[in-house]
Chain A
């Protein structure tokens, strides 16, 4: 019955354009140039919560706003960057080829500061001719760029061009082993929409996660995200509650029912697929997407978030293991005494900057060092943070923290020791050094 009502609702909205038109923003002609300029100021320099709202409003205004933004965007990447991420994110919604001509060089410039916003802008309404160009960004170091690219390709592949619809599926399947769980979940949902409902078992795995990165509840966040994604597909969660641990009696029962439900859905969808693509999604969830065991004895942490080089979650444990990532992280054995030596460098870094815990200015690039407090080995770990905005800050990091950062980078084993098939460990030392360099400046080479 509910399905019938939904069907009627969809039909009604499709047949009555006036209904949805009423939900549109006030017609553009009611906005004066001054009002548009005021919205632009809000979108550039309002508070973090106002910027996206102002940009969204500009996007709904249409041509008058587009003309003004086009004049501001200029012709160089430097001028485009000055618009800021909120405005850049909506440029692709104006359906103006001149904006795409500005956005593409930014997408292809690894040093452009707002590439996640650029990628989402381009993904809003991608053009068929951009298929090949987009595909290369599925391996981008920045997860939000990979995510937006996946969305863009999905949109293009569903435009009725059968010749293109086929290659999208293997591309999405490859993202099921992405190092970022958000990208994996999106790939799973997109594959479900193309009849590969087995991919939803990736979300079932996320519902069972309890992992943390120190005090950051990464597993709980994954449970919410997976639950939301399944509910958006109208899949009843059988009473599963994301805020409760998956081990509770009610959640265990719910997970059992849900597994049956998803397997039934997978079998039904696969039965309709051609033989050639039926087994495209692996029968078992790969290790990178599975629930991980606990991480014991983590004493040091390095979290790098770079808008140019991607994110890195590293931990060093008492028993000299390097833990890479979260969820079911990669674990690499280090030479004995490595963590102890790094902890000595961490003590020195704290003693050189007594009481100071933050350097820099607000922005999306961040280095976070976690370490035991000097003289208080059993207290909660100390966290030292550097952050910066889009402007270069080569001398941001104090010398003692650079020494610690260099030691941390140097402790990462060489590529011949690491698993090259794991996206988290592939060329890890080089990538971590690159992320350091893009945030607080380079650390010493090995």
Chain B
């Protein structure tokens, strides 16, 4: 009996991070299924919901869900709103699911957009961008500054 308890404890310690912190969340499948059906070859635009990205399971230092990783390097179409604090004349801005984010952002709640041939001007209202998506943590000075990024030529 003591051996069984010990075994359970050891098993629990090993399983804890995976079981308690990284339960598999049933998200995604649409992109994968579409690709399997041959509907979205890699050189074509994949439509992605910013809400779905926001709700994808993210924990610092851990892998993003598979369906997000599969988008890395692909051309995607994404709607969203310019973060309300977007300044004019810059080469990048945050695309958010709602226009008011109250001065703070969770790192997985926005897409960092880089403009290759344009500078920012504030556009109120929903915009749709097409560009190359990349994902994964970018760290600066010990802080995670982005998880999702989109490189696009210009604003609509």
**Chain A residues in contact with chain B, CB under 8 A?**
2, 5-13, 15-16, 19, 42, 46-54, 85-86, 116, 215-217, 220-221, 224, 227-228, 231, 237, 239, 241-244, 305, 307, 357-358, 362-364, 366, 368, 380-385, 387, 389
Q: Chain A residues near B146: list those with CB within 8 A.
A: 49
Contact: B13 with A16, CB < 8 Å?
yes
Q: Give the complex CA separation of A384 and B26 in angstroms.
A: 39
- A364 with B100, Cβ < 8 A, contacts A48-B105, A215-B125 known: yes
Give the docked Cα–Cα distance between A243 and B103 (Å).
27
| A385 with B124: CB separation less than 8 A | yes
B98 — which chain A residues lie within 8 A by C-beta? 216
Which residues of B68-125 are within 8 A (CB) of A?
Answer: 83-86, 94, 97-107, 110, 122-125
CB atoms of A8 and B12 under 8 A apart: yes
Q: Can you name 23 A-B residue pairings with CB atoms under 8 Å?
A: A5-B12, A7-B12, A8-B11, A9-B13, A11-B12, A12-B8, A42-B141, A48-B85, A49-B104, A50-B145, A85-B102, A85-B103, A216-B126, A227-B55, A231-B25, A231-B26, A239-B26, A243-B30, A357-B122, A362-B86, A363-B103, A368-B124, A382-B125
Give the chain A neighbours of B126 by CB distance below 8 A. Answer: 215-216
CB distance from A373 to the nearest CB of B (A): 11
Query: Are B102 and A220 closer than 8 Å at their CB atoms?
Result: no
* Cβ–Cβ < 8 Å partners of B38 in chain A: none
Interface centre among B16, B83, B106, B107 (most CB of A within 10 A): B16
Interfacial chain B residues near A362, Cβ < 8 Å: 84-86, 103
Contact with A along B12-52 (1 / 0, CB 8 A): 11011001100101110110000000000000000001011
Closest A residue to B20 by beta carbon equals A9
Complex interface: chain A residues within 8 A of B15 (CB)? 5, 8-9
Nearest A residue to B85 by beta-carbon distance? A362
Give every chain B residue within 8 A of A366 (Cβ-Cβ). 84, 99-100
A9-B12 in contact (CB<8A): yes
A249 to chain B, nearest CB (A): 14
Cβ-defined contact, A241 with B144, below 8 A: no
- CB of A85 to closest CB in B, whole Å: 6
What residues of A have a CB within 8 angstroms of the CB of B11 in the complex? 5, 8, 12
Chain B residues positioned under 8 Å from A5 (CB to CB): 11-12, 15, 19
Would B145 and A19 count as touching, CB distance under 8 A? Answer: no
- CB pair A49–B107 under 8 Å, yes or no, is yes
